[in-house]
Amino acid sequence: MIDIQEIDKKYLIAFQKFLEDIMEIERIRPFTDYLDAIHLWDFYTDLDDHITQYEKVYPDEVTDIFISNDIIDNKISCGSLWLFNENGCIEMKNFPNGNNMRFVRLKDSTYETESDDYKFYDCETLRDCLNKTGTNPNAHLRINVALLSGQEIQFKAVGRNCDFLFYILKKYIKA
């Protein structure tokens, strides 16, 4: 004999799980285009986990992200995940493995840029960066930021990620 209530319960549980999965995807959806553009498709879940950790400590909504990357031993390697909000940014070191957080206020900081094979261009929105093509895959962009506290932070980008770092420079560091 088929127990209709048991079947309904299983469908309800499956539907609830489906809705939870959609909610997770929706939460990081603004950043998936960025991850796709820099070929980090495998980090959707890691990004969601890190944003969850951030939300437990900081009330401000994440408005942009940046993942530092560099070439180490002829291979592109990820560094820190940076979560930006209206008050500054949070560095999550050793992305995707670590959860160490450091809050950084960028207000009144000074910065220096270093680039190799990267041509600066006018990008006003994240969409501009996503639509830009033709960035040299060997391009490097580094931004050293001197904070009021006397500390220094560094953002690094390789290839297409340089476009996104330049966007971060214009929106958060230079502003």
Mean pLDDT of the chain: 83
Q: How confident is the model at residue 18 (pLDDT cuts 50, 70, 90)?
A: low
pLDDT at residue 16 greater than cutoff 80: no
More confident residue, 163 or 16: 163
| Joined tokens for residue 74 | 């002829």
Q: How far apart are CA 84 and CA 116, in angstroms?
A: 25
Q: In this predicted structure, what is the pLDDT of residue 161?
A: 93
E strand segments, 21-129: 64-72, 75-85, 88-92, 101-104, 110-116
- Nearest to 173, CA basis, from 102, 81, 105: 105
Q: Quickly state the pLDDT bin for 129 (edges 50, 70, 90).
A: confident
Instruction: Tokens for 16, please give them.
Output: 């609830």
pLDDT above 90 covers what percent of the chain?
30
For residue 22, is pLDDT > 70? Answer: no
pLDDT at residue 20, rounded to an integer: 58
> What pLDDT band is residue 24 in, cutting at 50, 70 and 90?
low
Give the mean pLDDT of 35-49: 84
- Region 131-152: mean pLDDT is 88
Return the structure tokens found at 90.
């949070």
**Average pLDDT estimate for 105-134:** 84
pLDDT at 155 over 90: yes
Domain ranges of the chain: 4-173
